[in-house]
Amino acid sequence: MLHHLQSLLGSLDLAFLYDALSRTLAVLLCLTVHETCHGLAALALGDPTAKSMHRLSLNPLRHIDWLGLAMMLAAGFGWAKPVPVDPRYFRKPKQGMAVTALAGPVSNLLLALLALLAGRLIYEYAPYGPGWNAAFEFFLYSLAPLSIGLGLFNLLPIPPLDGAKVAGVLLPDRTYFRFMRYERYGMLALLALSYFGLTSQLIGNAILWVYMTMFYLFF
């Protein structure tokens, strides 16, 4: 029995397992920060809905949609459970929704910047080696592009993504509310774009540009 167990463990690709675990943890962190910051922005603008439903939490289980998580890992884009927002609490509902929506992508870009900064500090002051510092540095440099990707993807002006609410500020009220009625069809459009590789190519190029810009500007 022990011999068979040792053979099984020996046949496992530990690098692949670590990469899969690191990517999963990074995705969970990106989605959790994104949704929590939506709720914090809404609270700052006067809407206590997310707080009353315990969504101002860094516990990923409060935010994760398991199908969205699977899509994020498999296809490169996904979603979490949307944070509940009641625009009636906002003095200017359309503008309040735009600020609340923008908080998610901005938080992802800031998270990526912090990950790169932490990775650089580890590189400078904890020399690379086979220990935990190397594993954590690898995690951070994996986290940064994933967080950038989630932020940029959500800025696409397609309902129900955050970018649609941000772009909606520029629309007349009647057009805005008519536009938002088609949220349910927006996900089908995103799936179609992903199937044909249009979003992956666009977002992939944008991720690389933002990543390299952050790296050269700040490091």
Question: With 60 as the cut, is the pLDDT of residue 210 above it?
Answer: yes
At 109 the pLDDT is: 97
Q: Given 35, 124, 137, 183, which residue is catalytic? A: 35
How far is 161 from 68, CA to CA, in rounded Å?
A: 13
Report residue 129 as tokens.
Answer: 């080696």
Banded pLDDT at 131 (limits 50, 70, 90): low
Query: CA torsion sign, 21 to 24 to 30 to 35?
Result: negative
Shortest CA distance to 186 belongs to which of 165, 202, 205, 171?
A: 165
Q: How many residues does the chain have?
A: 219
Please say if 183 is a catalytic residue. no
- Work out whether the CA dihedral 126, 132, 138, 143 comes out positive or negative: negative
So what's the pLDDT on residue 4? 46
pLDDT confidence of residue 91? 94
pLDDT number for residue 114: 95
Total-model pTM:
0.85
Using pLDDT thresholds of 50, 70 and 90, give the confidence band for residue 136. Answer: confident
Per-residue pLDDT band at 181 (split at 50, 70, 90): confident
* Local confidence band at 13 (pLDDT 50, 70, 90 cut-offs): low
Relative orientation angle of helices 14-44 and 93-125, to the nearest 10 degrees? 140
